[in-house]
Amino acid sequence: MRSKLLLTLTLSLGSALAQSGQTTFVQLILDASGSMYSKLPDGSSRISVAKAVLADFISKLPADPALNVGLRIYGANSSGASSNACQDSKLLLPMKGLERGSLQDLVAQTRPKGATPIAYSLEQAALDFPQDSSKKLIVLVTDGQESCRGNLSSVLENFKKRGITVDLRIVGIDLDARAQKSFEGIGTFENARSSSELAAALGRTVVNVAKPSEVKLPVVVTLTSSGKPFTSGAKVSFSAALNPQNTVGFSGGAEFVAELSAGSYTATVESSESGVQTFGGLTVAAGSPNRFTFEVGVVGEVALDISPNPPIAGGKVTVKFSGAPAGEKNWITVVQRTDPDTAYLNWEYVRGASGTLELNVPDEQIEYQIRYHLANPDGSTRVVGRSAPFTPRKVTASLEGPAEVLGGSKISVKWTGPNNSQDYVTVVAKDAPEGAYRDYKYTRDGNPLELTVPNEAGAFELRYASDLSGKTLFSRPIVLKLATYVLEAPVQVSAGGVITVKWTGPNNDRDYVTLVKKGEPEGTYREYFYTRDANPGTLQAPLEAGEYELRYSSDNGSKTLASRAITVKAAALGSYALEAPGEVVAGSKVSVQWTGPNNPGDYVTVVKKGAEVGTYTQYFYTRDGNPGSIQTPLEPGEYELRYSSEKASPNPTLASRPLTLKGASYKLEAPRTGKKGEKVQIKWTGPNNPGDYVTVVPKGAAIGTYTVYFYTRDGNPGTLQLPDTAGEYEIRYSSEQGSPNPTLFSLPITVK
């Protein structure tokens, strides 16, 4: 069956690129969700077939400078129910030329693990392509439908927004009718239920991209035994990885030579040294050396034992190995017993002659085997150890929970099951696809588990599922009903005013009441309070007049569960006013009488005339008293007093009044000389503003410097003690209002 995949995939590489020389960008997107470990109806594992087909496809790509191929993989890094599973999509290789070796290595190393964020992956892919007139193709291979509630119908809009035209081809692997329907109208879709169908479908996706190399390529094989050339009557043949019946024999002695088409192969070597040996993972490609060296010397069988035996389906198995050969890239894998030596599912690199490791076991009840692969320098591998076959044992799962509850409420769910590390319990709509989840808890987190059900009405299911495969191990129905929701509040309020809202509802943990503009989308919120915090609760109206809605909503689903219209009235003319002197001394305090609603966040400030709306310096909240006082800036000039509010951004000016700040007179009178440590009296003239002080500093000291000082508020004259070091100094009148504290007047003094 795999031969048809090879043939169709080869033929799919049409002649468009070869004929036109047009620059072409191809992004392969591979599904690495946990369900890829599952079987196809023909018995092959989905991930093994997908890897084999892609590896063969990559080997056949022409070495054309106009062809750029990249690889994006989703679901390989995060478990399906983890918080970042729906953003688990990574561009592993950008579309820059054809890095054949890197592509094949990345495909080979892929290990299924997580969710199926298809929409997110396509959104990210839109950012991967250049914005030009080149030919663009996406080939998406998936065994499931979108599991992260992404909107597939809108994903192509991201490409249009960037001015990109892309040909999207989606190949499904054994999708059910519901999953197939989810891709209707999204690019070009085909579904494959066997390895041969998958091959043909993949081939058709790239029919207009690039013509494959049809030229036979020379392939040279050298044999060694214990590192030395081996030429004693061996037989060498290569079989196509996807069509083992297509076998080519090699001729030669010191070197074995044959001509092969580009593709993936498995080599068979028959020698007197070690009998028949198989070497997998071989790639023949245009532009590659296509030279291979196989070590056929006797290698002792690696002993492989597992525990527990049998392991739990979907759980972990500990593998103990011993008698292993040297090597940095040797690896151990779990496969179906009937899989060819080139197949592998979960795997880990190993080093040393002996050791232990853990592997994930698929949750199918079929025969599996652990295999030890010896890696050769040319990239080929051969199996040098096999465990006894084993069949994982199933552990029955069950759930106990309520049959009917209010939407949005918390429920307790008791479970029984295998309790594998990635098993979880969730609640989803009755017809949700496999792998879907809403609120969930891992079984390892306790028993019973607490879940928050969706804030919806309808038929739902509690599911015991596996993050490893995405399969549901047990489900039971649960009916969700909506509670009664009511809001009571005035029908109108003044702009910026406080609204008292009485609510009726279930008071679920994340329920809240908010105020939004009439007709805003569900899930919008502005000012809000959680129902758990008060009943009635209070909200502050916006400053902008208009029609609004009070909404009872929930963080659990963001639906509007109850709403009530409310009108926000504009403030009447004269509602805001300020009374204060028209002129004061700069740096002094000014008393301001205000008129206004005294809403939360209302304040009065002083700013330069014409300053941007929202600017503020010194201020007082209206709630703190009427009149209030503000200390003015030290810099003389034209200013404004403003009544403003923190309710909007930028804070609006609701009333203003001009204010002129005039400069004050400053003067110091003191002796011109004094003795070290002597106390001197200093008479000062100045506004005596809060924070004004007199200090003595070395001549020329930086502005803001101070040593001993006295505040002007403490008396006139004041007393300072001169420094203990002789020299030239200054007596300064300064203020704490500026930063650095400005020098407003200075007088020289000599200390002897």
pLDDT tens-digit readout, 332-359: 999 999 888 888 888 899 999 999 999 9
Q: In order of start, what are the domains of the chain with their CATH numbers?
A: 2-205 (3.40.50.410), 217-295 (2.60.40.1120), 303-386 (2.60.40.10), 398-481 (2.60.40.1930), 486-569 (2.60.40.1930), 577-662 (2.60.40.10), 667-751 (2.60.40.1930)
In the sheet that 440-442 helps form, which strands lie side by side, from edge to edge?
404-406, 472-481, 458-466, 423-429, 440-442
pLDDT averaged over the chain? 88
Q: Are 223 and 235 in contact (CB under 8 A)?
A: no
Question: What pLDDT shows up at residue 737?
Answer: 85
Mean pLDDT to the nearest integer, 628-647? 93
pLDDT over threshold 50, residue 9: no
Q: Please say if the pLDDT value at position 497 is more than 80.
A: yes
pLDDT tier at 164 (50, 70, 90 boundaries)?
confident
d(CA 365, CA 361): 10
Element holding 543 (H helix, E strand): none
pLDDT score recorded for residue 410:
92
The angle, 0 to 180 degrees and rounded to 10, between the axes of the packed helices 100-109 and 46-60 is: 180
Burial of 672 per CB tally in 10 Å (0-12, 13-18, 19+)? exposed
C-alpha closest to that of 543 among 495, 499, 489, 580: 495
Beta bridge partners of 331: 349, 373
Mean pLDDT in residue range 29-41: 82
Do residues 264 and 287 touch, judged by C-beta distance below 8 A? no
Instruction: State residue 449's pLDDT score.
Output: 96
d(CA 296, CA 274): 6
* pLDDT band at 157; cut points 50, 70, 90: confident
The pLDDT of residue 514 is: 96
Residue-level pLDDT at 144 = 81
**Residues 9 and 60 sit within 8 Å (Cβ to Cβ):** yes
Q: What is the mean pLDDT of residues 701-728?
A: 95
Per-residue pLDDT at 685:
94
pLDDT at 16: 37
Nearest in space to 258 (alpha carbons), one of 242, 239, 274, 230: 239
Lay out the sheet containing 498-504: strands in order across.
486-488, 498-504, 537-540
CA distance 428 to 434: 10
Q: Is the per-residue pLDDT at 49 higher than 90?
A: no
Tokens standing for residue 112: 């299924």
Residue in the structure block whose two tokens are 């029609």 = 547
Most confident of 60-74, 154-168, 477-491, 559-573: 477-491
Say how far apart CA 719 and CA 696 lie, in whole Å.
11
pLDDT digits (tens, 9 = 90+) for 668-711: 999 999 999 999 999 999 999 989 999 999 999 999 999 999 99
Q: What CA–CA distance (Å, rounded) separates 218 from 286?
A: 10
Gap between the Cα atoms of 410 and 408, Å rounded: 7
Report the half-sphere exposure of 461 (CA within 13 A, side-chain side): 19
- Which tokens sit at 344? 């592998």
Mean pLDDT of the 462-488 span: 92
Give the pLDDT of residue 6.
Answer: 35
Please tell me the distance from the alpha carbon of residue 279 to that of residue 301, in angstroms, as a whole number: 16
Q: What percentage of the chain reaches a pLDDT higher than 70?
A: 95
How far apart are the two ends of the chain, measured CA to CA in Å? 108
Please state, for a pLDDT cut of 90, what percent of the chain lies above it.
56
pLDDT category of residue 83 using cuts at 50, 70 and 90: confident
Any bridge partners for residue 270, and if so which? 235, 276
Which pTM value belongs to this model?
0.61
Give the pair of three-digit tokens for residue 591: 């008393």
pLDDT at 18: 40
Confidence check: pLDDT of 460 > 70: yes
Q: How confident is the model at residue 206 (pLDDT cuts 50, 70, 90)?
A: low
**At which residue do the structure tokens 């006894």 appear?**
388
Given a contact cutoff of 8 angstroms between Cβ atoms, the answer to whether 209 and 169 are in contact is: no
How many other CB atoms are there within 10 angstroms of residue 388's CB atom? 11
- Report how far residue 716's alpha carbon sits from residue 718's, in angstroms, rounded to the nearest whole number: 5
Contact 39, 364 (CB under 8 A): yes
Q: What is the pLDDT at residue 709? A: 96
Q: How confident is the model at residue 241 (pLDDT cuts 50, 70, 90)?
A: confident
> In the 8-state DSSP scheme, what is residue 206?
T
pLDDT in the model for residue 352:
94
Whether the per-residue pLDDT at 213 is higher than 70: the answer is no
**pLDDT (0 to 100) of residue 725:** 94
pLDDT by residue (tens digit) across 307-319?
999 999 989 999 9
Using alpha carbons, list the distances in angstroms from residue 40 to 48, 197, 271, 364, 652.
10, 11, 36, 12, 66
Q: For residue 319, how many C-alpha atoms fall within 13 Å in the half-sphere facing its CB?
A: 29
